[in-house]
Structure 1
């Protein structure tokens, strides 16, 4: 339990730092077609060291996340990952010399308080067998998200950034659930069934949508959409189908902790825009 929560928080540190590096790299990349979803943007961003460094941190964070997903409930992992916004805010305030307002420091404190509540209330991860159709449902969800990309590109800037971020969150949320569904890493067992493919396609979809959202619209709005998508969806799946439960008698504390952590994270999303713009300005100076 303790190891799982520590790994989830370590993953949030990696992801929060990586988001800053990737957003700066995406905004510095050459503009493409102007579409809301630009697959070629990934190849242009990959030419920059900041994006590569962010990917390396994402890889380390994913290893921590796997350990967490195998030992604590999905709702606890999701809430901890939402704390990556607090990591981004605090790191930017130290490294970029940007001051946080009292409201923003209060949001950081709220995230920490919410995570403490979740840690106290979390039981072990659920051991209920997943329905056979759940893996295929993950693949279908990712397919719908991908097919929606061209349509999202035609929306105005505000809703476009929000929905691209939400699509990224659904992709990353699919990865979380798929990790729980994979029982063995042995070949050929790992190649059988939809879960491994949902993991790969979901991760690629998340990076594609989030990178496009960072360049094409508001980083603030996109980040808020991502947090909602990767937090709420997996939590509901874990409780409804995988048997995730808080400790007996502490259900209210777990629910309140999730609500406080996510609310604090979404408040901090307002901090993302100036910090990342400042980072971009410094990188070009």
Structure 2
């Protein structure tokens, strides 16, 4: 749980840096899967520092996924928005309303409830078809992202965000299905390909969401996509459980943490008004 919380801190800080870099990058094609946009944004040092923090956060997330249930890890990742909000307030001069400070408190309370009730990760490998289902989901996210950029306004932002969240969710579940790191075993495991495809696609979609459209809507979609589905998979097929007699507090804590994160969704674009001097943010029809 400590690793999951530290991962959330890294990812929350990275979001601020990546939002600044994405908004300062000229727009690309109308597709949500815009590789050229990713190449341009990689020239921004802030985005590179954000990626480094994401890498540290992902490593900590893997440790957490191999130790505690998926629902606890994913609720904590959604809680990274609380970190982003707290960092944005002093660093980017973003004013937090009283309701948003309340949401930060709610997220912390929800995560505390999960931390007190979380059990060990499940020991089930799930049905044999699960790795292939993850790979199929990763391809579906890629296809959805390819057309989402051409949708109007909030529909575009919602699909991009939900697709990114679903991709990150596929990554989380795939980690649990990789139990043999021998090269031959990795090459034969469809969960490895699902992880790589879903992770890369999710980053592309999230970058597009930061760069254009209503990122508040996109972030809300991402929170839903990365929390609910993986939590269900973990409980139903992978055997994730709580400590004995604490299922209700865990469920309440999960719901409270996700609800608080949704209330802080606008901090997915915390840096929208903090573009560095000398650059111009791309125009956004959705905001």
TM-score normalised by the chain length of structure 2: 0.94
Question: Retained in 2: the 8 A contact 1:123–1:245?
Answer: yes
Alignment of 1:173-184 (within 5 A): 173-184=169-180
Alignment of 1:1-150 (within 5 A): 5-150=1-146
- C-alpha separation between the residues in 2 aligned to 1:200 and 1:17? 23
Which residue of 1 is the match for residue 161 of structure 2? 165
Query: For each residue in 1:18-74, what CA deviation from the matched residue of structure 2 results, as whole angstroms up to 9, or x when unmatched?
Result: 112112111111221234442211011111111111111111001100100000000
Query: For each residue in 1:164-220, what CA deviation from the matched residue of structure 2 results, as whole angstroms up to 9, or x when unmatched?
Result: 000000111111001000002122222221011111111101101100111121121
- C-alpha separation between the residues in 2 aligned to 1:233 and 1:282? 41
Which of 255, 261, 278 is the aligned partner of 2:273? Answer: 278
Which residue of 2 is the match for residue 196 of structure 1? 192
Question: Retained in 2: the 8 A contact 1:104–1:271?
Answer: no
Alignment of 1:240-251 (within 5 A): 240-251=236-247
Count of matched residue positions in the alignment of Structure 1 and Structure 2: 280
Which residue of 2 is the match for residue 186 of structure 1? 182
What's the CA shift for 1:281?
Answer: 5.0
**Structure 1 segments of 4+ aligned residues over 3 angstroms from their partners:** 34-37, 281-285
For structure 2, the residue ranges without an aligned partner over 5 or more in a row are 281-287
Question: Retained in 1: the 8 A contact 2:119–2:241?
Answer: yes
Question: Retained in 2: the 8 A contact 1:76–1:118?
Answer: yes
What's the CA shift for 1:278?
Answer: 2.6
2:273 match: secondary structure: helix
TM-score normalised by the chain length of structure 1: 0.94
Question: Retained in 1: the 8 A contact 2:219–2:266?
Answer: no
What's the CA shift for 1:252?
Answer: 0.8
Comparing 112-121 with 210-219, greater Cα deviation is found at: 210-219
Question: Retained in 2: the 8 A contact 1:83–1:111?
Answer: yes
Which residue of 1 is the match for residue 285 of structure 2? none
2:9 match: secondary structure: helix
Question: What RMSD over aligned residues (CA atoms) do the two structures have, in Å?
Answer: 1.5
